[in-house]
Chains A and B, each alone.
Chain A
C-alpha cells in the first residue's frame, strides 16, 4: 500500500526543478561580491599560493589565553537511552511504553549540530514518565530488584541495611560514581518519609534517583583543585568523561573497576583503556555517528522521485540502504582498516546489499555477504549515493550540493541573503521548460548577474563538479530532460569540469567530476581541518571558538605530519582523550 501511494505521489510530480527557484531565492541576494574568509586561513595561504596552500595547520594555539570553560552537560537523548540500557538491560528498556516515551524525547540536533542546550518541558516530562515506568517495572520483579541488592526492599518493612544497600548499589550506577554520605542519607530520609506500601515506596525511590541532577547531567566535578583554578578529574569523573566521549554511554564494569581502584589515573592503564574502548563495537557505532552528524546523513528528507526518473529502481527503503552503505563504509575505513581521511575522500569501496542500491551504483549485487565492492566511478564520501540524493528529487540541485560542500565540508561561511539589493523578480521561478539547456546552463545564467557572483563563485563550482551524478546518485554522462508527463524530450551531455578555488586564495585548478573533486580535496588539508572542527563540535556539543584551537592544533598534528602525510583517523579520537586538557575541568565564573 505504501509503495502504491508513494508511486501515486510520484506520478503527480512534474517539472522537478521547482526546487531550483526556492534555492535561488535563498542565495541570489547573497550579493555583496565579497566573502568572509577566515583571516587565519588567508594568512597561512599567503605562504603558498602557487601550490594552493596544500597542507597547513590552521589552528593557532595561544597558550596565554584561557582555555574554554567546561559546563555541566545534560545527557543527550542518545546518551540517556544508552545509559539506561547499560544500567537496566534490554529487558527493562525495550518495554514498549518506555520505548514510546524515549522516542518522544526531543532530538538534540539543532541546525544539524549536536547540542545539549535548549531543554524543553517535553524533555523533562518524558524523563519523569520514563523514570516512573522503570520504577514500576523494577519494583514489580524481585529478580530485577535483586540485581541492585534490592529484593529485600519489597518486604513489608525493609531493614535499614537493606535500604542503604539498595540505594548505594543503584546510586553507583545512576551517578556513575559512589554516593557521598550526605547523598545516601538524603535518599534514606526521603524513602523513610514516603507513606506508601513497600513496592510503591521502592518505585518512587527508583524514579527519584534516576532524575537526580547527577544522573541527568555529566557533572564531572570531582577532583583535585589546581593553582590555576582547574580541577584534575577524579578517577570516576575521568572514567565518565572518557566513556561518554568515546562510546556515548556510561563506563562499563571494567572501566568502573579501574576508576574504583584509581588505576585509571595511571597513564599506562588509561592508554590501555582508551585502546580497549576504541576497539569496542560501542565506540565504533558512536564515533561513526559523529561522522554522520557532520555529513548530515540523518537529515536527508524522504525521497520523491518520479517513476520515469527512477527507471525501474524501487525508492521505498532506498534511503535506509544508502545510509547503511555510508555507515559500513565509514566503519570499514576508520576502524576495520585503520584508514586515513584521504581514504574517506577517495576510496571507491561500496557496501551494496540490495538490487535497488546496486542499480544506483550501476553494478550487480556483490557476492560478498558484506556487500563490499569497488566501484570504478566513485571516490569516497562525496560520491556516496546518500550524499548525492540529498534533495530527494529528480533535479540534482547543484546549488544545494555546492552550499553543503562549502559550508559543511570546507567550513567556509557564505554571506547571508540581502534581497533588498537584488532585482525584484529574483525569487520568481526560472524558465525550466527548455529541453535544449542543461540544469547547469540554467543555473549559470540565473547566477551570472554580478550581484550574485560573490556568493555563487563559492558555491557553483563545487556543485557543478558533482554534475556527473544525477539526483539519486547514479553516475551519468548525459542529463535526461523529461516533460511533465514523463516523456523523454532530450538527453544533453553534462559538463562536470570546473575551475575550483578550494582555499579561496586565488589558486584555481581545473577539475572534472566527483572523482576530480575528491582528489583535489585530498590534496589539501582544508577538508581535514573542517572535519576535525566538526568532531570537536560533536564532542563539546557547542560552537567551536578560537579558545578550542589548542585542542584542534593537537588533533591536527596527530593526523597530519609536517610533510603532509596522514595518519589513521582513529588517532583523532585517541588524541582528543589523551590530551592534558581532557583530564582537567575548567569551571566558569
Chain B
C-alpha cells in the first residue's frame, strides 16, 4: 500500500509557497537527473592565510618582459603591469614565496594567476578576518553601522551556477583550524550577518562530506533506502499537519517550516549522492581535538599534517562531487602553539620591528605556498574530460588576511596579495601576473578589493541581482557602505572606483 499523499507530491503542489527556490532543483525526478548531462561542474576553493606579506617576497620578477598597459586605455583608473609567466625561465622562481617545483612547471604556470595591488578600502589597518570573502571591515565587525556582507562562498553555494540541477551532500564546507569562521551568512532576521558554521574536527568534516557515501550495492541497501525514504516523507507530513495547530504563533510556524526545508537536503542524501565515477571516499575518521574524538591522535599530528589532512578530505570530496565550494581558514598559525613557528609569531615576526623577522614571514608564507601546491596539484591530477583536469574547471583562491605589511610594519590592508589557480573552464585569463595601481596625489592606491570579489562572482556567471544587497543595512558584494559613520579612509583616492558602473565591472584583463 502506498501513502495517499507523499511528500514529493506535496512539494510539487505547494513547494512554490512553502519552500525557497534554491531547493527546487532537487525536485527533479531521478530520471530527469540521470538524463541531464548538465553543464561543466564549477568549483570554488579558498585557502585563507593570516598576517600579510612583505612586498619584496611576493611581486613578480617584472622586467622588460612585462608589458605596461597605459592608464589612458583604462579610463585613467589603473596603471596595469602584466607579465606572462611563459616569459619567465622555468629555472627562476616566480617569486621568493614560491620556491617549489609545482609552480615552475610550464603546465602549472599556465594555470596560475597572480594579482597584486588591490586595497581593502573599507577600513584603516587592522586584522581582517572576513575581508577575503566579502565584508570589508576588520574583525569582529559585528557592530551596528559597520559594513558587512554575505561572503562569496555563501552566495556561490546557493547559486544554480554551482549546483544547477541537484542538491549536493554539502553546499559549502567551511573548515577552520581554530573555530570561528571567515565566512558570513545572513542571519534569520535578514538584516545582519552571522559567521557561517565551520568545522575543526576531522571527524565532523568527514561526516559532512562523506556520510552515506558508501557505494554499497548489497541487497540490504535498497531496503534501507526505501525505509528512509518512507520515513522522511512521514515525518514531513507530520510537520505539515502540525502547522495547522491553532495555538502556534507565526514565529512558531516559521520554526517548523525551517526544519521542513532541511528535510529536502536530507532526502537528497537518502536518494543517493551524485557521486562521480572516480569517487573513492576516504576511510571514516574519528580524529578531532575534543573528547570523545580521538584527540590523542589529533595532538600527535603537527599543524602541517593537519592542514594537509583537511585539504585531502576536501579534494576527495571535490572528486566525489559531494561539494563544490570549500574554504580553509588556517588562521590558527598564530595562536595555539602548535605551528612550526614560535608561539608568539604574531608579535615577534608578523608585526615585529626587527628586520631578521622578515625571513620568518617569508618562511611562513612559503608554508602556505606548499599547502596551496599540495591542493592544486591533486586537483590537476584528476582528469574529468580528455585533457581537462578538475583544476581547469575550478577556481582555487589563495587569500591573505592582510596586504603588504612592509611600510606599516604591521596590519596594512593595502596591496593585497592574491593567487588563483584554474581558469573556470577557460573564463580566467591565466598564466600571468597582473598588478593594478594608480597614483593619486602623493599616494598610490589600487582598486577596491570588492572589484576582485565581483570578478569572481561574475566569472561563475552570477549577475548583480544575485550578490548585491538591497538596503544600506544589508549591503552585498560590490558595495561600500558609503554612509557608515567612519566612512572610508582616504576616500577621495578611491572615488573613481565607486560609481555603479565601476563597482559592477570585473578587473580589466582578468577574463578571456
Contacts and interface: CB of A to CB of B under 8 A. Distances in A.
Contacts of A562: none
B306 to A, nearest CB: 13
A146 interface: no
Contacts of A194: 230
B344 A10 contact: no
B1 A203 contact: no
A428 interface: yes
A193 B249 contact: no
Interface string B1-26: 11100000000000000000000000
A121 B262 contact: yes
Top 8 closest A-B pairs, CB basis? Answer: A588-B249, A416-B143, A420-B486, A429-B347, A18-B344, A13-B343, A18-B347, A221-B247
B337 interface: yes
Contact of B352 (A6, A231, A429, A587): A429
Contacts of A121: 262, 265-266
Contacts of B410: 425, 427-428
Interface string B316-356: 00000000000000000001111000111011100110000
Interface stretch (A46-54, A152-160, A204-212): A204-212
Contact of B249 (A14, A195, A587): A587
B208 interface: yes
B33 interface: no
Contacts of B408: 424
B346 A22 contact: yes
Given A72-B255, A120-B197, A125 B266 contact: yes
B337 A10 contact: yes
Contacts of B249: 69, 71, 587-589
Nearest to A129: B211
A25 B1 CA distance: 66
B143 A74 contact: no
Interface in B225-240: 226-228, 230-232, 234-235, 238-239
Interface residues of B, number: 73
Interface string B128-144: 00000000001010111
Interface of A: 1-2, 5-6, 9-10, 12-18, 21-22, 25-26, 69, 71-72, 74, 99-100, 103-104, 106, 117-122, 124-125, 128, 132, 186, 190, 192-196, 200, 203-204, 207-208, 211-214, 217, 221, 231, 302, 304, 416-421, 424-425, 427-429, 432, 484, 587-589
Interface string B273-301: 00000000000001001001000100110
A74 B239 CA distance: 14
A188 to B, nearest CB: 13
Contacts of B203: 104
A208 B234 contact: yes
Contacts of A9: 337-338
28 contacts: A2-B296, A2-B299, A6-B299, A9-B337, A9-B338, A13-B344, A14-B342, A21-B347, A69-B251, A72-B252, A104-B203, A106-B197, A119-B259, A119-B262, A121-B265, A122-B197, A125-B262, A128-B235, A190-B3, A194-B230, A211-B231, A231-B247, A304-B343, A424-B125, A425-B410, A427-B125, A587-B252, A589-B249
A419 B485 CA distance: 12
B480 to A, nearest CB: 15
B414 interface: no
A583 B489 CA distance: 56
B247 A204 contact: no
Given A1-B296, A119-B259, A304-B343, A71 B126 contact: no
A424 B12 CA distance: 58
B248 A72 contact: yes
A427 B126 contact: yes
B261 to A, nearest CB: 9
B258 interface: yes
Given A128-B228, A208-B238, A424-B124, 12 more contacts: A14-B344, A71-B255, A72-B248, A106-B197, A125-B262, A195-B2, A213-B239, A416-B143, A420-B486, A427-B127, A587-B247, A588-B249
Most-contacted residue by chain B among A6, A121, A217, A416 (CB, 10 A): A121
B126 A419 contact: yes
A244 to B, nearest CB: 17
Contacts of A1: 296, 300
Given A120-B197, A420-B489, A195 B231 contact: no
A132 to B, nearest CB: 7
A5 B299 contact: yes
A419 B128 CA distance: 12
B300 A5 contact: yes
Contacts of B239: 213
Contacts of A208: 231, 234-235, 238
A69 B235 CA distance: 27
A83 to B, nearest CB: 17
B124 A419 contact: yes
Nearest to A418: B486
B364 interface: no
A186 B223 CA distance: 23
A195 B226 CA distance: 10
A589 B249 CA distance: 5
Contacts of B269: 125
A106 B228 CA distance: 22
B227 A204 contact: yes
Contact of B231 (A21, A99, A204, A231): A204
A128 B347 contact: no
A122 B256 contact: no
A18 B346 contact: yes
B367 interface: no
A91 to B, nearest CB: 19
B107 interface: no
B401 to A, nearest CB: 13
A103 B227 contact: no
Contacts of A419: 123-124, 126, 138
Given A14-B342, A71-B252, A104 B238 contact: no
Contacts of A69: 249, 251
A286 to B, nearest CB: 21
Contacts of B352: 429
B228 A132 contact: yes
B363 to A, nearest CB: 15
Nearest to B487: A420
Contact of A200 (B2, B3, B227, B252): B227
Contacts of B188: 117-118
Contacts of A417: 140, 143
A71 B251 CA distance: 8
A381 to B, nearest CB: 25
A484 B143 CA distance: 37
Contact of A18 (B256, B265, B343): B343
A342 to B, nearest CB: 35
Contacts of A190: 3, 234
Q: Which of B2, B143, B343 has the most CB of A within 10 A?
A: B343
B386 to A, nearest CB: 37
Nearest to A428: B410
Contacts of A18: 343-344, 346-348
Nearest to B353: A428
Contacts of B346: 18, 21-22, 429
A482 B24 CA distance: 62
Contact of B3 (A118, A193, A420): A193
Contacts of A416: 142-144
Given A15-B347, A221-B247, A428-B411, A104 B204 contact: yes
B30 interface: no
A170 to B, nearest CB: 15
A124 B266 contact: yes
A207 B252 CA distance: 23
B3 A429 contact: no
Contact of B126 (A25, A106, A302): A25
B412 to A, nearest CB: 10
A275 to B, nearest CB: 31
